[in-house]
Amino acid sequence: MTIISLAGVTKTFDSGYTALRDVNLDVAPERFVALVGPSGCGKSTTLSLISGLDRPTSGAITVRGKPVGGITDGVGFLFQRDALLPWKTVRDNVLLPLQLRGVGGEEARSRVAEWIGRVGLRGFEQSFPYQLSGGMRKRVALAQTLVYNPEILLMDEPFAALDVQTRNLMEAELLTLWQGSRKTVIFVTHDLEEAIALADEVVVMTAGPGRVKARYDVTLPRPRDIEQVRFDPRFTELYSQMWNDLRDEVLESYARANAAG
């Protein structure tokens, strides 16, 4: 079973930069897949293509067996940058996707209240984004994405800008929310530890143009304690295996950046 499939996908931007070259990737439903690689390896581009925000130069992308054209249905996207509408309150931000889907009245109200509660922001309904901390804004973004119950979650380094403590908290919360939700997650990060701690499967990509270099199953048991799991011997073992793969790519991309700079 696959829910998302990329076959021979290449993406070259107008600037002439090739972000992805001949990428093949199949994702099974309800899996938590982490995409790791050095910066500029096309991880974010992969998410844009799956969501339908951008089109591949060549190759085929299918979601639930249907080729992607226009925005993909049932997809939630968590961006690295703040994407909340600054002129809407927390409540109105979370309400927006329901509004766009024509869900209104009592149902919309109760779902919004439920999700604001689930991400721990009760009492902040009337706040504007600028009045919240970075971690709180991420929670709102999470509620905004989950409130319309998308089957697929695309996450583009969503916690990269947070401090380490907040980040660990958010990771733990994400796992709690995801557990039993039957959602498929593709989580882009450059942090190998984060990838292993969260995912069922880690895909290592090459330095740009990105290709799939290796895939690893993370067999650590669930539910996981985000803090404790890092001390599990299997975690360390996986980490050193993947780091071997990743290191070459990071060095490669680093060397190239230096040569270019």
Partner 1 sequence: MRERTQPANRWLVLAMQVALIAAALLAWEFGVRAGKIDPFFFSAPSQIGVTIGGWWQHGYILRDVYVTMEETLFGLLLGGGIGIVLAVLLASNRWLGAIFVPFLVLFNSIPRVTLVPLFILWFGFTLWSKVVSAVVLVLFVVFFATYDGIKDVDPTLVANVRVMGAKRLDVMRHVLIPSALTWIFSSLRSAVGFSLIGAVVAEYFGAQAGVGYRIQYSEAQLNTSGVFGGLFILMVLVFIINLFLQRLQRRLLVWKPVDP
Q: What angle do the packed helices 134-146 and 90-100 form, to 10 degrees?
A: 20
Q: What number of other Cβ atoms are within 10 A of residue 59's Cβ?
A: 17
Tell me, letter by letter, the H, E, C secondary structure of 125-169: CCCCHHHCCHHHHHHHHHHHHHCCCCCEEEEECCCCCCCHHHHHH
Name the residue nearer to partner 1 (CB basis): 48 or 253.
Answer: 48
Least CB distance to partner 1 at residue 110 (A): 19
By CB under 8 A, the residues from 207 to 236 that bind partner 1 are none
Based on the number of CB atoms within 10 Å of its own CB, is 227 exposed (0-12), middle (13-18) or buried (19 or more)?
A: exposed
Q: Does 13 bind partner 1 (CB under 8 A)?
A: no
Q: Does 130 bind partner 1 (CB under 8 A)?
A: yes
Task: Please measure the distance between the N-terminal and C-terminal CA atoms of the chain and give it in whole angstroms.
Answer: 44
Least CB distance to partner 1 at residue 227 (A): 31
Name the residue nearer to partner 1 (CB basis): 145 or 189.
Answer: 145
Q: Does 88 bind partner 1 (CB under 8 A)?
A: yes
Contact 45, 97 (CB under 8 A): no
Q: How many residues bind partner 1 (CB under 8 A)?
A: 27
By CB under 8 A, the residues from 43 to 62 that bind partner 1 are 48, 51, 53
Q: Does 77 bind partner 1 (CB under 8 A)?
A: yes
Beginning with the edge strand found earlier in the chain, give each strand of the sheet holding 152-156 in spatial order. 75-78, 152-156, 184-189, 32-36, 201-205, 212-217
Q: Does 206 bind partner 1 (CB under 8 A)?
A: no
Name the residue nearer to partner 1 (CB basis): 62 or 241.
Answer: 62
Q: Does 132 bind partner 1 (CB under 8 A)?
A: no
Least CB distance to partner 1 at residue 90 (A): 11
- Residues lying near partner 1 in the complex (CB under 8 A) are found at 48, 51, 53, 71, 75-77, 79, 81-89, 96-97, 100-101, 128-130, 144-145, 148
